[in-house]
Amino acid sequence: MPYCEGCGTEIEKDAAFCFHCGRPVRVSDVVYRRQRAPLWNIGSILAVLFGGLLILVSLGLLVGGGAVIWVQSTFSDSEGFLMSREVRLQSDSYAMVFQDVNIDVDVDVPADIWAPKPGDFVTVKLVGVSNDPSKELFIGIARDTDASEYLKSVEYDRVLFDPSWDEEILGISPGPRGGIRFSVSRITHPGVAPSQDPGSLWFWEASASGSGPQTIFWEPQAGSFWVVVMNADGSDDVDLHMQLGARVPILRIIGGGLLAGGSIILGVGGFIVYFGAFRPWRSHY
């Protein structure tokens, strides 16, 4: 209980006058305030720097994921294959051969344990059409040992190509012709006409033969392979237009994962920057 400063009589807490001597009770004007916290400290600075770094990383992931999905969606055909531009192949010999298609798998896995194969991740598509309507076209993929044995005495051209991205990959002209171009050169293997038509042989991993566009799909396996292009009757003067494509379903998963990861990291970085840079301004009364 408070006391009167004049006579010392105990008075009520809320009394305005002392009931004994009539002296006014003085009310204190003191207002207590919490000490204002500093706006910036080392913790706030580190939080802003770390959060800003996370935001930059997230932007890179978002751009990368968006680019992967955009390329997959824009340049794929109706079956989901990323296709090259058409390239003309012409030879006066009996065949044109792409050698050294090597699929290497270096991981040793016990036979009783399932392990993914290259074909589980990618499917290759080859499309060819003869430029001579009177000739049927043959396209086949075989292991190098089988193909080289068949063609060892046959005159053929070994095709060397260097794939490179065309400027049209940027979206100026996606279209069905794709955005990959090939620089083609050839080395001739001397020989004679083949003793058998290619379609009569059993060793092809994948093959197609006939008039009009010919398409083969191949799920790669470990080993070394040749791609052989011939006239179906084994005659000389092979002339065609050809496209190469690949379908990689995991690309869409990778793109989606980059987008999801980038979004999460962006949210975390934004949260850290907010509490590091803006929250201190509200820590005082």
What is the pLDDT confidence band of residue 207, given thresholds at 50, 70 and 90? very high
Report the C-alpha gap between 123 and 115 in whole angstroms: 17
What residue segments make up the domains of the chain, in order of their start?
1-32, 55-77+249-285, 84-103+116-247
Can you tell me whether residue 185 is helix, strand or coil? strand
Q: In this predicted structure, what is the pLDDT of residue 202? A: 93
For 61-105, write each residue's pLDDT tens digit. Answer: 899 888 888 877 777 788 888 887 788 888 899 999 988 777 655
Q: CA of 257: how far to CAs of 53, 123, 220, in Å?
A: 20, 22, 25
Using DSSP, how many helices (H) and how many strands (E) does the chain show? 3, 11
Q: CA of 56: how far to CAs of 64, 110, 255, 269, in Å?
A: 13, 43, 18, 9
Structure-block tokens of residue 171: 């979206």
Helix-, strand-, coil-residue percentages of the chain, each rounded to 5: 30, 30, 40
Structure-block tokens of residue 183: 């620089």
Report the C-alpha gap between 269 and 49 in whole angstroms: 10
DSSP letter at 76? B
DSSP letter at 199? G
Report the C-alpha gap between 150 and 84 in whole angstroms: 29
pLDDT at 149 over 60: yes
Domain 84-103+116-247: CATH class, spelled out: mainly beta
Across 45-60, average pLDDT: 87
